[in-house]
Amino acid sequence: MKLKCLLILVIVSLAANVSAMERKKIGVGVIIGQPTGITAKYMLDDDSGIDAGAGWETSHDNYFHIYGDYLFHLYDVIEVPKGKLPIYFGGGVRWVHRENKDDKLGIRIPGGVEYIFEDLPLAAFLELVPVLNLSPDTDLDVEAGTGIRFFF
């Protein structure tokens, strides 16, 4: 009986550890660039995720950004000796509140690279994002940023 209880305890403990590893799909951190602020990422599976952020545009006063993207990740393009270095691309939306001007609404087309540390729950990224503004006028913007997220 004691052996069965010990075996059940070990199995439950291992299952809890696997479950804890699987929960490391949520990353929260900072982004510096256009915009500068906070960023979050939720990995739906190994190859896709949802990215969102909020912050201020550093080249203008009182421009507040909110964005959200759906991202695809490709892991086999760049090989690294430790960790992972996927490239990613996707699509999303951006809203910019501009004080004393019309707000902007646009479609984002992000692309970037993300280094996922092997022994730490961290990922650093660099991205370039063309934006097709739909409102108040149709025009193009280009955003870029670098950042780091802590995954839990």
Beta partners for 145? 33, 127
pLDDT in the model for residue 58: 73
Residue 22 DSSP label: H
Domain locations in the chain as residue ranges: 25-151
Residue 55 has pLDDT above 80, yes or no: yes
Q: What is the mean pLDDT of the chain?
A: 87
The pLDDT value given to residue 26: 96
CA pair distance 24, 110, nearest whole angstrom: 23
Helix, strand, coil in percent for the chain, rounding step 5:
15, 60, 30
Q: Which two tokens stand for residue 48?
A: 């896709």
Q: Letter for the amino acid at 139?
A: D
Question: How many CB atoms are closer than 10 A to CB 139?
Answer: 11
Distance CA 132, CA 88 (A): 19
pLDDT at 16 over 90: no
* Cβ–Cβ under 8 Å, residues 108 and 94: yes
- Do 51 and 72 contact (CB within 8 A), yes or no? no
CATH numeric code, 25-151: 2.40.160.20
Among the ranges given (82-91, 97-106, 124-133), the one the predictor scored with the smallest mean pLDDT: 97-106
